[in-house]
Amino acid sequence: MKRKNAPFVALFFFPLLVLALNLHCQYDYSSPLPGLVDIRLHTISDSSRIAFSPQNIFVLKITQVSAVRSDLALATVYGDIKAIKRLTGVYNTLDAHAEDSSLVIGQADLPPGDYLGILMLIAPGGTAILDGYRNIRVVTPPGFDPTLQFQRSFKISEQRTTRIVLTINLDSSLVKEAVGYDPDTFLFTPSYYISSVLYE
Amino acid sequence: MYKIIARWLAGIVAILAVMSTGMDCKGKYLVPTNIPPITRLSNVPPPDSFIIAKNPLLTLYWVGDDPDGYVVAFRYRWNFRLNAASPFQYKPWSRVLNIIVSKFALMTDADESNITNVYKYFATLPPEGLSPDSANRLDSAKTLIIAGSHVWASNPKIIHFPVHVNPNSGTFIFDSQDSLNPHTFEVSAIDNAGAAGPPATVSFGTPRVSPPHTQITSSPTDTQLVIDRKSSTFQGIEFDFQGFDPNSRTVDYQWVVDRDLWPPDSIPWSPFTPATFARATAANFRDPYAVTHRFYVRARNEFGSIDTIGADTSFYTLYPPFLRPGYQHRILLLNNSYDWGAGGTAAHPSRAMLDAYYRALFDSAGQNGKYDLFDVVDVPNGPHIFPGLGALGQYSVIVFIGDVTGDITDPEWHHSFLGTRENMVHSYLNVGGKLIITAWNFPFPLNAGPEYTRQIGHLEVFRPDQVKGNFIGARGDKGYPDAVVDTAKLDTASWGQGLMSLWPGRPYGFGEIIYRYDARNNSFFENLAIGVRYLGTTFNVVYLGFPLYYIQQPVPTAIVRKALDDIGELNR
């Protein structure tokens, strides 16, 4: 009788034992869900100087976008939420979408937390096209630093979207006929900042 | 019972004995104190000797050891005195880290209490070394902040002769104001406990060296138009110079204009720079409107000795009257056209006929009494009379008229706008002039040429339209009215029912199309740019690639008004 009931007893206690072990192995913390960062480009330009027009083109090539966390960890931001790597993005700063802050240049799921700003590696296009036919060479000053540091703290919250608008002021970024440069060139001296952070 | 008590007592005694022995066995010695590091200078004379160097530049070498740790840095200083009667003074300590990172010898302002933390940061970098950003900063002579202290490279790429290229040597220039200057150099190693060892010292004397010799190698010989600021087209009047000093690895310079006209205590010498040229503007003059000036330059060698004599030269400038306060707007009609002489016709007008046409045109454009007319006289194989810079500078606008050529089919006939004429108009523009060009066959190489047309007119041309009578007008843009060739002024037998030898193209740089080519029967040139305006930050140009004289009235009047309006001169 005893030998017959022994497996049954063992089988009865085995799940309880596994359950007890599992309960014991539970971590005492849970991993948070990510939040979405959505980075957009906004351009400011005096329309009497360079208008937002399909015939005007000045591109920025963006090769890398990173969010800087408060512990200085860098999180890479790709072109969109489904991207699996960063490709060089070419964005026309005189596009109508850039005028109304709807030109998306980066999206990513990021760990929640406090962030210090955005780093962006860029290269200006070699030529600005005005009125569809005027090709103005764009030059950079010696020692030009292609890393733009947009410094403004923001927060990423679980399952929420943080929309960041990066603004580039073309009126001061594209200097016409700068002293010491060819008169028929634009000197690219980027003037930029984070103009807004929206939490949705 | 007795035995039990005895056993208990024996046990207690034994325990006490063990405890007592244990207490007694505790160490009585203190933790060993740090042994300071040892520093040695190499290749120096014995401590009790004194040598005199050949010049104030010496390279010294040292090493450091630490018996109970490692050396994290060296600190050094030396003493000097201004003259034999002055007391000795010490330079502040300088500190160089005992490590080379990415080829940099690193200096720091960390004191002994923090220098180990700074050292450890660099000593524990990952195998790939410094981040590119930090390396770039160091190479650009910028500082890093490490553990709260500043760190910079002694040998960034912009310094050709660094003090340190490694932590175990330094090339120093010792203060040498007097004929003989004694110094004692001290260097100490600093160990990982932050302790500086006793210094290794060397004493020597350095001589005073002679200053460099300065020479001006080029300066302007002609009168120069000048303004009081630099722009993309006016970089200033250039002077080139050179300093000579066989003892010095580097020479730098400072310069001033009109030195003797400034108050002696406020002569505006430029900062010393290694540049062997200077570009002076009117802002550097004591009187910007003065015509005669004197340029002075002096050199300094790496030991701080300055050439007190320097070099100087005279030069001549003209501040354009049209840029001076109170100037009254005035236009120069510069007739550079071919003169068909007394037998001139409507198609081949004489100079006088063209002058009359332009007088009437500018009168009708509301400029009566606001212009002067200058006829450029070309005498074959004789003097070419063209206004000088002084004359051009009197006018806020120049209207260049090259409407009439000789026989357009003969390449030997042209209206000649070359060489010094081009250069003078270019100089006028570079300081802020305004130009309207109306010309036939302007880019022809015996006239202005295609390069000048590109640079000044901002029209890039490739080849002329040589189809007879093909240019019948131009379509206006940017507010310019359409222009139609006046057939009453055509030499139809030679030219057909329009003009030929016009050079359409495409705008260059900031040039904007104001006229597009209207061709009778050659679609290749159709709609190419034939008129361009350039509204720059320094100068403005309206370039009409066709002769206004041959355009049907009243459109030329409207064109003149619009051109003057574009360059801000219509209602002045």
Instruction: Decide if B71 contacts B191 (C-beta within 8 A).
Output: yes
List of chain B residues whose C-beta atoms are within 8 Å of the C-beta of residue A147: 133
User: B572 or A168: whose pLDDT is higher?
Assistant: A168
Interface contact flag, B232 A180, Cβ < 8 Å: yes
Q: How many angstroms separate the CA atoms of B211 and B309, rounded?
A: 10
pLDDT at B234: 92
Average pLDDT over residues A79-104: 89
Inspect the interface and report whether the beta carbons of A180 and B536 lie closer than 8 Å: no
Query: Shortest CB distance from B510 goes to which of A136, A143, A180?
Result: A136
* Rg of chain A on CA atoms, in Å: 26
pLDDT tens, residue by residue, B466-516: 888 899 999 999 999 999 999 999 999 988 999 998 999 999 999 999 999
Residues with Cβ < 8 Å from B517, sequence gap 6 or more?
B465, B471, B474, B502, B504, B525, B526, B527, B528, B529, B530
**B527 at the A interface (CB within 8 A)?**
no
Taking CB atoms and an 8 Å limit, are B506 and A136 in contact across chains? no
Alpha-carbon span A76 to A83, nearest angstrom? 11
CA B355 to chain centre: 44
Tell me: pLDDT of A178 over 60.
Answer: yes
Q: For residue B232, give the nearest of A137, A143, A177 by CB distance.
A: A177
Q: Which region, left, alpha or beta, applies to residue B161 given φ > 0 means left and ψ of -120 to 50 means alpha?
A: beta
Asked if residues B433 and B392 have their Cβ atoms less than 8 Å apart, the reply is: yes
Residue with tokens 């569809």: A132
Closest-CA residue to A57 (of A3, A152, A109, A135): A135
Domain assignment present for A14: no
Domain count, chain A: 1
CA distances from residue B337 to B39, B346, B557 in whole angstroms, order as listed: 85, 14, 20
* B293: nearest Cα among B241, B240, B237, B233: B237
Chain A residue with CA closest to B229: the answer is A179
Q: Select the residue of B458, B507, B536 nearest A133 (Cβ to Cβ).
A: B507
Q: Beta strands of chain A (E only): which ranges?
A: 35-44, 59-69, 74-76, 89-92, 103-110, 113-124, 127-130, 134-139, 147-156, 161-169, 174-176, 185-188, 192-199
Residue spans of chain B under pLDDT 50: 24
**3-class DSSP assignment, residue B389:** helix
Indicate whether A13 belongs to any domain: no
> What per-residue confidence (pLDDT) applies to A180?
86
Residue A164's pLDDT is: 94
Residue B505's closest chain A neighbor by CA? A133
First to last CA, chain B: 134
| A76 inside domain | yes
Q: Which among A142, A133, A125 has a CA at the least distance from the CA of A186?
A: A125
**Contact call for residues B429 and B400 (beta carbons, < 8 A):** no
Angle at B436 between CA B353 and CA B363, to 5 degrees: 50
Backbone torsion region of residue B369, taken as left when φ is above 0, otherwise alpha when ψ lies between -120 and 50, otherwise beta: left
Q: What is the pLDDT of residue A66?
A: 93
- In total, the C-beta contacts within 8 angstroms joining chain A to chain B are 45
CA distances from B472 to B181, B201, B224, B495, B504 (A): 86, 91, 42, 11, 13
User: Which residue in B142, B230, B232 has the most chain A C-beta atoms within 10 A of its own C-beta, making it the best mutation to test that interface?
Assistant: B232
In a domain, A9, yes or no: no
B428 within 8 A of B393, measured Cβ to Cβ: yes
The predicted structure's pLDDT at residue B17: 59
- Tokens read off for B507: 């705008």
pLDDT of residue B19: 58
In terms of Cβ atoms closer than 10 Å to its own Cβ (0-12, 13-18, 19+), residue B87 is exposed
Q: What gap in Å lies between CA B329 and CA B334, rounded to an integer?
A: 16
A8 within domain boundaries = no
Is A17 among the domain residues?
Answer: no
A20-32 residue pLDDT tens? 655 555 556 678 8
Whether chain A has a CB inside 8 Å of the CB on B232: the answer is: yes
Flag whether residue B139 sits within 8 Å of chain A, measured between CB atoms.
no
Distance from CA of A98 to the nearest CA of B (A): 24
Which domains are seen in chain B, by residue range? 38-207 (2.60.40.10), 213-319 (2.60.40.10), 331-566 (3.40.50.880)
SS3 call for A53: coil
| Beta-bridge partner residues of B364 | none
Across the interface, whether the CB atoms of B232 and A133 are under 8 A apart is answered no
pTM higher than the cut 0.80 = no
Distance from CA of A182 to the nearest CA of B (A): 7
Can you give the pLDDT at residue B249?
86
Nearest CA in chain B to A128: B509
Any CB–CB contact under 8 A between B40 and chain A? Answer: no
**Cβ contacts of A30-34, under 8 Å, gap ≥ 24:** A32/A111, A32/A112, A32/A158, A33/A112, A33/A158, A33/A159, A34/A109, A34/A110, A34/A111, A34/A112, A34/A156, A34/A158, A34/A159
- The minimum CA-CA distance between A10 and chain B, rounded to whole Å, is 53
Cβ pair A131:B512 closer than 8 A:
yes
**How far is Cα A90 from Cα A44, in angstroms, rounded to an integer?**
18
Q: Which of B36, B70, B304 is nearest to B167 (CA)?
A: B70
* Count of alpha carbons within 13 angstroms of residue B185, beta-carbon side: 29
Residue of B nearest to A180 (CA): B232
Q: Across all residues in chain A, what is the average pLDDT?
A: 87
Name the 3-class secondary structure at B224: strand
pLDDT of residue A87: 84
Q: Which residue of A has its CA nearest to B511?
A: A134
Task: Name the residue facing B508 among A147, A179, A184 (closest C-beta).
Answer: A184
pLDDT at A151 over 60: yes
Give CA separation, B281 vs B287, B366, B393, B394, in Å: 11, 36, 16, 19
Looking at chain B, which residue has its C-alpha nearest residue A143?
B140
Cβ of A182 within 8 Å of Cβ of B512? The answer is no
* Helices B351-362 and B555-566, axial angle in degrees (round to 10): 70
The dihedral of CA B126, B127, B132, B138: what is its sign?
positive
What gap in Å lies between CA B411 and CA B24, rounded to an integer? Answer: 120
Does residue A20 fall inside a structural domain? no
How many Cα atoms within 13 Å fall on the side-chain side of residue B19? 6
> Which residue range is the domain that position A93 belongs to?
32-199
Contact A177 B133 (CB under 8 A): no
What is the reported pLDDT for A1? 45
Q: State the pLDDT at residue A141.
A: 93
Whether A176 sits inside 8 A of B538 (CB atoms) is no
Q: With an 8 Å Cβ cutoff, are B232 and A136 in contact? A: no
Q: Is B132 on the interface with A (CB under 8 A)?
A: no
Please give the DSSP secondary-structure letter assigned to residue A57: B
Judge whether B268 and B284 are in contact, CB under 8 Å.
Answer: yes
> Is A110 within 8 Å of A67 (Cβ atoms)?
yes
Residues of chain B with Cβ-Cβ distance to A133 below 8 Å are: 506-507, 513
- Residue keyed to tokens 């070099």: B311
Tell whether A104 is covered by a domain. yes
Minimum-distance CB partner of B233 among A137, A147, A183: A183
How far apart are the C-alpha atoms of B502 and B487, rounded to whole Å?
A: 16
CB contact under 8 A, A133 and B140: no
Residue in B closest to A184 by C-alpha:
B509
How confident is the model at residue B357, as a pLDDT? 97
Determine whether the interchain pair B507/A181 forms a contact, defined as Cβ–Cβ distance below 8 Å. Answer: no
Select the residue of A147, A181, A184 nearest B510 (Cβ to Cβ). Answer: A184
Cβ-defined contact of A182 to B232 (cutoff 8 Å): yes
